Amino acid sequence: MERVVNLCKRRGFVFPSAEIYGGFRSTYDYGPLGVLALRNVKDAWWRSMVQLRDDVVGIDAAILTSPRVWEASGHLTNFADPLVDCRNCKERWRADEIGGVCPNCGSKDLTEPRAFNMMFKTHAGPVENEAAVAYLRPETAQGMFLNFNNVLQTTRKKPPFGIAQIGKSFRNEITPGNFVFRTREFEQMEMEYFVPPAEADTWFEYWCAERMAWYRGLGIPEDRLRLREHDAEELSHYSARTADIEFAFPWGWGELEGLANRTDFDLKAHSTASGERLEYFDQSTGERYVPYVIEPAAGATRAMMAFLLAAYDEDEVGGEHRTVLRLHHRISPYAVTVLPLSKKETLTPVARKVLALCQPHFMCDYDETQSIGRRYRRQDEIGTAYCVTVDFATLDDKAVTIRERDSTEQVRVPIDSLVDELKARLLVS
Ligand code: ATP
């Protein structure tokens, strides 16, 4: 964990936010590499959930939301964690996480738990009164329910169909921590899949399997992933059935994604509160019903952290120690880095041409400082999938060397076919 956190800071994945002021309350900024990796996680999700399907469409809903939404959804009353104070050291904790003992001082002298609502409250407009109250969304899901009719009418989809969204959510967590695992501002990737009620269990199981396969396909090893179904006491107020996809973090199993059968709870609640009918009318059978909802709800920032932890490795190459991020190429910040063998005037223009050839197709880096060995190490450490080396022979044979990160195997290919060769390796799955 410590090594990955250090690497994130040292190489520009994740920085503590407002660091020059000593940081700000467990918030983080994504640096030049982190922004690429995080975007890749989100793109991989969107590709699998929207692009490769014809039954799911996307939206991007507002973050600022009317209290009426959260009143109807139950969040104003139910979206709370049990807060306790330690009477000895005055620290505050989530009662369900500490087993009756203060993790700071070991005291058992704790206050009775009280409900602490985790939504961030603000005011929309210049007047700070009750009528101007707005909330930052604590989940993206409600945007899909609010737009149910809009999407039905504009896309002519019919159940089973889904609405997907990626975006920021905000929760005033009592105890943020474990790096970006739990923060107050984070990104979610959620999909609401609307189904005929009788098919809810089948689709629940379908989505559990699909989502497990997504993590595995992007390189999370089998033995660090598990699906854990909730028992009745653990279920949220809207859920008939929930299973978590968990990852073996260095401190133990932690949730990456929750899959829930939200039943018709949300659509019915918003119908009642708004007076708008949120239901599906099947013209072929004349049947009118409120669909059930199966929701795979994942965290983008948490998933990125899991991908980094799973990818981190140290090995030896040619008798030399190296750190390598064995990231799936869809997650790697850079797919390709172009390296001229040396900073000689004759090589630079050719290497720059090779870079310009690759840039329209792949996210590329370019590095001409230090020895070639050290530059390979630097690229291995940030998970770059392929290095393309331009050497003195290139000037005669118009060919370059492609080096693969994990095996360090090298092949020589003509510059003319370089892009195709890289595409064949990078776009396979
Ligand atoms: P937890 O039990 O860890 O508080 P949760 O069950 O409340 O999470 P959900 O409401 O199911 O989480 O949210 C779906 C996903 O959003 C989670 O699986 C996680 O990946 C992500 N997520 C939730 N809260 C946070 C947070 N504070 N920081 C980062 N990611 C989060």
Q: Is 138's C-beta closer than 6 angstroms to any atom of ligand 1?
A: no
CB-based contacts of 169, cutoff 8 Å, min separation 6: 136, 137, 138, 139, 140, 185, 186, 187, 188
* Predicted local distance difference test score (pLDDT) of residue 429: 54
Cα 93 to chain center, whole Å?
A: 26
Is there a contact between 128 and 23 (Cβ–Cβ < 8 Å)? Answer: no
Mean pLDDT score, 39-50: 98
Q: Which residues pair with 245 in a beta bridge?
A: 227, 257
Residue 318 lies in a domain: no
State residue 245 phi and psi, 5-degree precision: -90, 120
Residue 206 lies in a domain: yes
Is there a contact between 339 and 390 (Cβ–Cβ < 8 Å)? Answer: yes
* Predicted local distance difference test score (pLDDT) of residue 125: 94
Residue 28 lies in a domain: yes
pLDDT > 80? residue 14:
yes
CA distance 136 to 64: 5
Residue 327 lies in a domain: no
Q: What is the pLDDT of residues 357-398, one digit of tens each?
A: 999 999 999 999 999 999 999 999 999 999 999 999 999 999
Residue nearest to atom 21 of ligand 1 (CA): 299
* Predicted local distance difference test score (pLDDT) of residue 318: 87
> Last residue of some domain: 117, 145, 173?
117
Kindly state whether residues 339 and 267 are assigned to the same domain: no
Which atom of ligand 1 is nearest the CA belonging to 299?
A: 20
Q: What is the pLDDT of residues 291-337, one digit of tens each?
A: 999 999 999 999 999 999 999 999 999 899 999 999 999 999 999 99
DSSP-derived secondary structure letter, 362: S
pLDDT > 80? residue 275:
yes
CA distance 80 to 271: 24
Q: Is 299's C-beta closer than 6 angstroms to any atom of ligand 1?
A: yes
* Predicted local distance difference test score (pLDDT) of residue 428: 67
* Predicted local distance difference test score (pLDDT) of residue 237: 82
> Last residue of some domain: 64, 94, 117?
117
Kindly state whether residues 163 and 279 are assigned to the same domain: yes
pLDDT band at 127 (very low <50, low <70, confident <90, very high): very high
Domain of 261, CATH number, reads 3.30.930.10
Question: Residue 165 to residues 150, 208, 229, 395, 396: CA-CA distances in angstroms?
Answer: 15, 18, 24, 49, 51
* Predicted local distance difference test score (pLDDT) of residue 344: 85
> Last residue of some domain: 257, 273, 308?
308
pLDDT band at 24 (very low <50, low <70, confident <90, very high): very high
Is there a contact between 421 and 402 (Cβ–Cβ < 8 Å)? Answer: yes
Residue 223 lies in a domain: yes
- The rounded Å distance from CA 190 to ligand 1 centre is 11
Kindly state whether residues 237 and 367 are assigned to the same domain: no
Residue nearest to atom 11 of ligand 1 (CA): 258
pLDDT > 80? residue 203:
yes
CA distance 32 to 55: 34
Is there a contact between 301 and 187 (Cβ–Cβ < 8 Å)? Answer: yes
Amino acid at 312: Y
Which atom of ligand 1 is nearest the CA belonging to 176?
A: 27
CB atoms within 10 A of CB 118: 17
Q: Is 171's C-beta closer than 6 angstroms to any atom of ligand 1?
A: yes
Residue 322 lies in a domain: no
- The rounded Å distance from CA 201 to ligand 1 centre is 23
Q: What is the pLDDT of residues 148-196, one digit of tens each?
A: 999 999 999 999 999 999 999 999 999 999 999 999 999 999 999 999 9
Kindly state whether residues 178 and 86 are assigned to the same domain: no
Kindly state whether residues 91 and 40 are assigned to the same domain: no
Residue nearest to atom 16 of ligand 1 (CA): 299
Kindly state whether residues 218 and 241 are assigned to the same domain: yes
Q: What is the pLDDT of residues 392-416, one digit of tens each?
A: 999 999 999 999 999 999 999 999 9
Is there a contact between 195 and 294 (Cβ–Cβ < 8 Å)? Answer: yes
Instruction: For Cα atoms 190, 7, 216, give the angle at the middle one, nearest 5 degrees.
Output: 40
Residue with token string 């932890």 = 309
Kindly state whether residues 33 and 84 are assigned to the same domain: no
pLDDT band at 27 (very low <50, low <70, confident <90, very high): very high
CB-based contacts of 248, cutoff 8 Å, min separation 6: 223, 224, 225, 226
Instruction: For Cα atoms 344, 349, 353, give the angle at the middle one, nearest 5 degrees.
Output: 140
- The rounded Å distance from CA 52 to ligand 1 centre is 26
Kindly state whether residues 265 and 368 are assigned to the same domain: no
pLDDT, averaged across the chain: 96
Q: Please state the pTM of the whole predicted model.
A: 0.95
Kindly state whether residues 133 and 182 are assigned to the same domain: yes
Residue 109 lies in a domain: yes
Residue with token string 């509160």 = 273
Kindly state whether residues 217 and 96 are assigned to the same domain: no
Kindly state whether residues 43 and 183 are assigned to the same domain: yes
Residue 316 lies in a domain: no
Kindly state whether residues 103 and 166 are assigned to the same domain: no
* Predicted local distance difference test score (pLDDT) of residue 238: 83
* Overall domain count for the chain: 3
Q: Containing domain of residue 405, as a range?
A: 334-426
Q: What is the pLDDT of residues 216-249, one digit of tens each?
A: 999 999 999 999 999 988 888 888 999 999 999 9
- 35-44, 213-222, 343-352, 387-396: least confident range: 343-352
- The rounded Å distance from CA 27 to ligand 1 centre is 15
Which atom of ligand 1 is nearest the CA belonging to 303?
A: 20
